[in-house]
Amino acid sequence: MSTAQKPTALLADRLTHFGGRVCALVRRASREPALENIFRQLARSATSPAASYAEAREAVSTRDYVYKLKLCVKELRETLAWLRMASGAGFRSAEMDALARECDELIAITVTCIRRAKGS
């Protein structure tokens, strides 16, 4: 990554990379019937923030931008819940903790973007 890259592009890249890493984890996971719904929901919620952020970057107003960023946060928090559920259901992977940490960081970054946009 270039040091001259804009922070918005860096966040977009991180969100995209995060969604891809979660999908790769889901693809490698065993196809246990009890975990199928968790993995399906996990993949959906983990890929949604990148798309919502792409929409936020094209927002027509600050209010629209904040709304779309809030959707990102909502989906990231849902992703964290699904990661915890998978872990609680007995799914173990070396990547789970790293993905949960990245998700926490992405939530913090996005919340900071919302606060700055609102001027608070």
pLDDT tens-place string over residues 39-88 = 999 999 999 999 999 999 999 999 999 999 999 999 999 999 999 999 99
Helix (H/G/I), strand (E/B), else coil: 29:
coil
User: Whole-model pTM above 0.85?
Assistant: yes
Q: Tell me the residue range of the domain where 111 lies.
A: 7-118
CATH code at position 42: 1.20.1440.60
pLDDT tens string 78-118? 999 999 999 999 898 889 999 999 999 999 999 999 999 99
Please indicate, yes or no, if residue 1 is contained in any of the structural domains. Answer: no
Please indicate, yes or no, if residue 48 is contained in any of the structural domains. Answer: yes
Please indicate, yes or no, if residue 83 is contained in any of the structural domains. Answer: yes
Please indicate, yes or no, if residue 2 is contained in any of the structural domains. Answer: no
Answer for the pair 76, 100: CB distance below 8 angstroms, yes or no: no
For residue 3, give the amino acid letter: T
Total domain count, the chain: 1
Answer for the pair 104, 80: CB distance below 8 angstroms, yes or no: yes
CA 19, chain centre distance (Å): 6
